[in-house]
Amino acid sequence: MIAGLIWQAIAGDPYAIADDARQHVFWMWRFIDASLFPNDWIADYYQSISPIGYAWLYRLLALLGVSPLTLCKLLPPVLVMLTGAIAFLTAFEISALPAAGFTASVLMTQSVGFTATLSSGTSKSFVYGLMLLFMYGWLRRSRWLSWGAIVLQGIFYPQVVLLSAGLLVLGLVERRQGKWHWRRDRALWLLTTGGLCMATAVILYYAGSSSQFGPTVTLEQALTMPEFFRGGRTNYFQTSWLEALLNGRGGLRLDAATTPVTNFLALGLPLMLSMPQRFPLAKAVRADVDILPKLLAVAGFWFVAAHLLLFKLYLPSRYTGRFFFVVAVLAAAIALVLLIDALLGWASDGLASPKMSAQATFQSFMATGLAAVLGLVVVLYPLTMSGYPFTSIIRGQSPELYAFLANQPKTSLIAGLAVETNNIPTYSQRSVLVSREVAIPYHMGYYQEIRQRAQQSIAAQYSPDAAAVKAFVQHYGVTHWLLEKTAFDITQLTRDRWIQQYQPAAGNATTVLASRQIPFLQSLGDRCVVFEDAQHWLLAAECIVSATENRP
């Protein structure tokens, strides 16, 4: 059902796509037509950082005639079902309770609907399924399944390999009679050794990969860049220490683990397991349930490591929220089954008592009713949420513009600061000089070029100097310039947080408008307009250059 809702949310509109997909999927149109995005700095960058398995999946389906945009919409519902199935197997392996497996499957498929992770159709969509697959393989003590899961993690979402490696190490110890002991299972040691070798190979492969787009931004550099502060494109540094600890890109993201609220049931599992006389099914839960707290410990370790090696391991929150979420769902599923069974057991004992009183009867019916309510809440609660499932879908607002640009030569290059430049590569398969969607400042070799393009685009768009505009167009080989009709409104300019990151260019542009100077592009009126809709003018760069030469 959840898979169907996600499909319904994204399939009906040809100009609807997940937010992150506008970064990570557009370049894959090259699999359909290799001549697209020629010498495109942005497309080359996103192609270089895409995990090889993820890219090859899109390449393979492209050979079968499935476009990247279509596959991006097909993947989420398929992954929802697969993730739910693996959650069933994992919970069943932990608890030996089919009901717990079923509940885990329900909770998992419902809970992913509260995040944009799985619905994006990007590499992060695989994170839950790949983590669960490894856990299932380890619980089964299956070498090939565990090793295969690590390989899949390495080619689809490499960060998960670090979590699996940590679980392999912690899996070698167990607690007996209040003390920690090394496990003596030779097969487990073989599984662990092979898995760690594979994990090391994956890590060395990515660590040794050189790129023209590096190096990774350092903490010292990030502290000098407005992009990493409030209002910036990649808001990392928080003003409150509590917010920094809990939320954002550097936080624990406990909110991800406790959404939906039914995941709070996970907190009761340790208590239930310690009271088997009150929760009889607790006896069925296997000792390997300790894989859940071990995953929490491993996630915490990599969270701290990511802070100590900030940006080298990407973002700290990537090691906590999603994996705390996996633990919360599995633990909540088992806890719910134990609780409902206990309630029904109490009700049955009360009704079977030979000295049954009115009070005992009432308590039995109350226990039965509470069990029923719990079951209904789990099934129906998410469906009461407005906007569920949450998919972070962005809908393109200018289909006529996309169609017009799609009919321009493949060598076209569109300049401009309009928000719609975010969507042009995806829907028109044409290159843009810069856009706010792709201005991600983690790799400085890439971002220095993007920052320079943004600065120069702002300077040229608001410059009264015709020669400066001409030089900009000729330097980059721009063929079209996209302008929003509100582009020369000083209020709009000062409110645009993305543009205001780029100083001094943004400040100079504001000064031009405040002093009532007329930017050269504004002075052209509709002279060079080749396309117009309610929000935009699209100008031909050739006409702009001609106008600079003919200006008195």
Amino acid identity, residue 240?
S
Q: 3-state class of 456 per DSSP?
A: helix
Q: What is the pLDDT of residues 521-538, one digit of tens each?
A: 999 999 999 999 999 999
Enclosing domain of residue 327? 2-209+240-384
The helix, strand and coil proportions of the chain, stated in percent and rounded to the nearest 5, come to 65, 5, 30
Among the candidates 384, 408, 442, a domain finishes at: 384
Asked if residue 446 and residue 348 are part of one domain, the reply reads no
Read off the pTM: 0.92
Asked if residue 406 and residue 375 are part of one domain, the reply reads no
Asked if residue 402 and residue 358 are part of one domain, the reply reads no
Residue 40 lies in a domain: yes
Residue 372 lies in a domain: yes
Q: Rounded distance, CA 353 to CA 341, Å?
A: 18
132 and 83 in contact (C-beta within 8 Å)?
Answer: yes
Q: What is the pLDDT of residue 214?
A: 82
Find where tokens 């894989």 sit: 291
Q: What is the pLDDT of residue 256?
A: 82
Q: Note the maximum CA span of the chain.
A: 107
Asked if residue 260 and residue 321 are part of one domain, the reply reads yes
Question: How many residues belong to the chain?
Answer: 552
Q: What is the pLDDT of residue 4?
A: 55
Asked if residue 524 and residue 461 are part of one domain, the reply reads yes
Tell me the pLDDT of the chain (552 aa) as tens digits. 555 555 555 566 788 888 889 999 999 999 999 999 999 999 999 999 999 999 999 999 999 999 999 999 899 999 999 999 999 999 999 999 999 999 999 999 988 887 878 888 899 999 999 999 999 999 999 999 999 999 999 999 999 999 999 999 999 998 877 788 899 889 999 999 999 999 999 999 988 776 789 899 999 999 999 999 988 889 999 888 888 888 888 999 888 888 888 899 999 999 999 999 999 999 999 999 999 999 999 999 999 999 999 999 999 999 999 999 999 999 999 999 999 998 888 777 655 555 555 665 666 667 677 778 787 877 777 777 777 777 778 889 999 999 999 999 999 999 999 999 999 999 999 999 999 999 999 999 999 999 999 999 999 999 999 999 999 999 999 999 999 999 999 999 999 999 999 999 999 999 999 999 999 999 999 999 999 999 999 999 999 999 988 765
CA distances from 461 to 270, 363, 421, 465, 505 (A): 61, 74, 15, 10, 10
What residues contact 225, with CB distance under 8 A and at least 6 apart?
A: 217, 232, 441
Among the candidates 384, 406, 430, a domain finishes at: 384
433 and 457 in contact (C-beta within 8 Å)?
Answer: yes
DSSP state of 393: E
Q: Rounded distance, CA 112 to CA 6, Å?
A: 10
Q: Rounded distance, CA 89 to CA 106, Å?
A: 12
Q: Rounded distance, CA 304 to CA 306, Å?
A: 5
Q: 3-state class of 481 per DSSP?
A: strand
Asked if residue 60 and residue 165 are part of one domain, the reply reads yes
CA distances from 389 to 20, 247, 382 (A): 17, 21, 8
Find where tokens 């401009």 sit: 416
Among the candidates 384, 408, 436, a domain finishes at: 384
159 and 318 in contact (C-beta within 8 Å)?
Answer: yes
Q: What is the pLDDT of residue 343?
A: 86
Cα three-residue angle 248-252-254, rounded to 5 degrees? 100
Q: What is the pLDDT of residue 366?
A: 75
Asked if residue 155 and residue 266 are part of one domain, the reply reads yes
CB-count exposure of residue 229 (10 Å: 0-12, 13-18, 19+): middle
Residue 529 host element (H or E)? strand 529-532
Q: What is the pLDDT of residue 254?
A: 87
Residue 389 lies in a domain: no
Asked if residue 121 and residue 94 are part of one domain, the reply reads yes
CA distances from 361 to 263, 346, 348 (A): 31, 11, 10
Beta-carbon count within 10 A of 125 CB: 27
CB-count exposure of residue 396 (10 Å: 0-12, 13-18, 19+): buried
302 and 231 in contact (C-beta within 8 Å)?
Answer: no
CATH code at position 420? 3.40.50
Residue 509 lies in a domain: yes
Q: Rounded distance, CA 412 to CA 320, Å?
A: 42
Residue 461 lies in a domain: yes
Closest CA to 7 of 109, 105, 142: 109
* Structural domain total, the chain: 2
Asked if residue 201 and residue 335 are part of one domain, the reply reads yes
394 and 23 in contact (C-beta within 8 Å)?
Answer: no
Q: At what angle do helices 466-476 and 541-550 cross, to 10 degrees?
A: 140
What residues contact 444, with CB distance under 8 A and at least 6 apart?
A: 214, 215, 216, 217, 221
Cα three-residue angle 281-376-90, rounded to 5 degrees? 45
Residue 218 lies in a domain: no
Q: Rounded distance, CA 300 to CA 309, Å?
A: 14
Q: Rounded distance, CA 328 to CA 91, Å?
A: 12
Task: Kindly write down the DSSP assignment for every residue of 100-143, as one continuous string.
Answer: HHHHHHHHHHHHGGGSSSGGG-SGGGGHHHHHHHHHHHHHTT-H
Asked if residue 424 and residue 379 are part of one domain, the reply reads no
Q: Rounded distance, CA 518 to CA 374, Å?
A: 66
Task: Kindly write down the DSSP assignment for every residue of 358-376, as one continuous string.
Answer: HHHHHHHHHHHHHHHHHHH
Q: In this structure, what token pair is assigned to residue 157?
A: 């979402």
Q: 3-state class of 432 per DSSP?
A: strand
18 and 10 in contact (C-beta within 8 Å)?
Answer: yes
Asked if residue 464 and residue 352 are part of one domain, the reply reads no
Closest CA to 250 of 307, 174, 211: 307
Residue 345 host element (H or E)? helix 321-352
Residue 231 lies in a domain: no
Asked if residue 269 and residue 246 are part of one domain, the reply reads yes
Q: Rounded distance, CA 550 to CA 520, Å?
A: 13
Residue 233 lies in a domain: no
Q: Rounded distance, CA 167 to CA 219, Å?
A: 29
What residues contact 353, with CB distance under 8 A and at least 6 apart?
A: 360
What residues contact 405, with CB distance under 8 A and at least 6 apart?
A: 412, 414, 424, 428, 430, 480, 538
